[in-house]
């Protein structure tokens, strides 16, 4: 587990040392295949919500907020109770929460399957259990918090597809579980990677994810600049 002050004040020398061990989500054959089972784009614009956890929420948000069709992202906590949904409590690794990102998107422009593909391709390493690189603990676990049976079925089908094809060198450990509550994180965590691009932790852990998204999914990438995109 690494506390916020350590992440925030990470020195340049430590950042260089971390660069060789930071988690990278790489398929064995490059970009991972699209889901064989997905929904069609909606006929009319609308609003849908997905919630993902994949390590430090700074980097997960930095990826999803740069997708065409995503209208809003919020970092927060899921998997525990409202009474324990604060950063100081979550970092004790005793609350059951995972650092998560709520993604609001237009299903006429982006499918849930496309979100899953990005999640498994560049947002995190889905084969690391209860950690991402040097961030260790259950709050950094890989989770898809589904909000409907359709999301549940799509997520489980895609994980089965990727495991059957041995896309990754190790089995996927991502949990698929119902969303019982999403609790917005503290203001200083929102858009953290955008607001602190020269923070060594962001440089080592999160900016490579943004670069990978742009390279692997140029048709989905947008240059996010904050509110108003």
Phi and psi at 101, nearest 5°, equal: -130, 125
Nearest by Cα to 71 from 34, 107, 39:
107
As a whole number of angstroms, the distance between CA 56 and CA 67 comes to: 19
Contact 143, 104 (CB under 8 A): no
Burial 84-111 (b: 16+ CB within 10 A, else e): bbebebbbeeebebbbbbbbebbbebbb
- Check 10, 23, 51, 56 and give the catalytic one: 56
Whether 24 sits among the annotated catalytic residues: the reply is: no
Strand partners, 11: none
Residues identified as active-site: 56
């Amino acid at each position: 587990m690494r506390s916020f002050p350590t992440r925030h004040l990470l020195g340049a020398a430590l950042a260089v040392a971390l660069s060789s061990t930071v988690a990278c989500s790489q398929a064995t054959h490059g970009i991972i295949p699209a889901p064989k089972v997905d929904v069609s784009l909606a006929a009319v614009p609308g609003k849908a919500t997905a919630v993902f956890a994949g390590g430090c929420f700074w980097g997960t948000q930095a990826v999803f907020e740069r997708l065409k069709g995503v209208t809003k992202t919020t970092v927060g906590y899921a998997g525990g109770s409202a009474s324990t949904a604060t950063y100081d409590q979550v970092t004790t690794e005793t609350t059951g929460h995972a650092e998560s990102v709520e993604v609001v998107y237009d299903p006429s422009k982006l499918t849930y399957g496309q979100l899953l593909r990005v999640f498994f391709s560049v947002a995190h390493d889905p084969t690391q259990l209860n950690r991402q690189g040097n961030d260790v603990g259950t709050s950094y676990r890989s989770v898809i918090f589904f909000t409907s049976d359709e999301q549940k079925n799509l997520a489980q089908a895609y994980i089965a597809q990727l495991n059957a094809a041995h896309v990754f060198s190790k089995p996927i450990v991502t949990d698929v579980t119902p969303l019982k509550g999403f609790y917005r994180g503290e203001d200083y965590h929102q858009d953290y990677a955008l607001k602190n691009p020269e923070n060594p932790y962001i440089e080592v852990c999160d900016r490579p994810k943004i670069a990978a998204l742009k390279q692997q999914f140029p048709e989905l990438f947008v240059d996010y600049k904050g509110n108003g995109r």
